[in-house]
Amino acid sequence: DSGVTQTPKHLITATGQRVTLRCSPRSGDLSVYWYQQSLDQGLQFLIQYYNGEERAKGNILERFSAQQFPDLHSELNLSSLELGDSALYFCASSVGLAGAPGELFFGEGSRLTVL
Amino acid sequence: AQSVAQPEDQVNVAEGNPLTVKCTYSVSGNPYLFWYVQYPNRGLQFLLKYITGDNLVKGSYGFEAEFNKSQTSFHLKKPSALVSDSALYFCAVRDLLNTGFQKLVFGTGTRLLVSP
């Protein structure tokens, strides 16, 4: 158990809909990362937050957004969903000190299926 | 940009035999390298990392990795494979961002199949 909690584990929805994925980081971790894992794209970095502020953006679509709340949990919002958004979405956390090469601890993921 | 390559989509090995999963890297500056394992329908689990120091890094579940600067490689190894080692293995490299924070850039993954 990594200590990172993601909900829901599975989600099935229709095209055009909006969903919210939730992540609670490990106790004490200030950084949260979101990754997307799909068969054709592999593991793609989406976005990172540190102590409530966005710190890095990767290959995140404009239809997607995220935020980190004062209690450090994070939400990833996916809107106007398309079939190609079907994937496993991972949240990871780390202590997140700038420059510190620490490992990331991953949650079990949220599997999104868009029909 | 920092990147890693995993040249093999799949590695097959018999139980009890040594295993190697290959990874090469391309970085500017000092490489900070990681190995993760993903079991079916699970998240990624950290195995080991190389930051500095000894070129042979020991990690979880009997795995180790050898850092080779001249060959820009960071291969994952285990002396004796178990059927339960069958999983998807990812190599990753730290990418230090201009904000001073980091992200990990992952390879495409290598599926390891250990046969009884």
pLDDT digits (tens, 9 = 90+) for B31-75: 999 999 999 888 999 999 998 888 999 999 999 999 999 999 999
pLDDT recorded at residue A92: 94
Distance (Å, whole) CA A30 – CA A34: 14
Rounded to the nearest angstrom, the minimum Cα separation between B56 and chain A is 18
- Interface residue of A34, A68, A106 to substitute, partner B, most B CBs within 10 Å: A106
Count contacts between A and B (CB, < 8 Å). 60
Task: Evaluate if residue A97 carries a pLDDT over 70.
Answer: no
User: Is residue A27 helix, strand or coil?
Assistant: coil
Tokens, residue A100: 């510190």
Residue entry with tokens 């949240």: A91
pLDDT at residue B41, rounded to an integer = 81
Helix (H) or strand (E) holding A6: strand A5-7
Contacts of A96 in chain B (CB under 8 A): 101
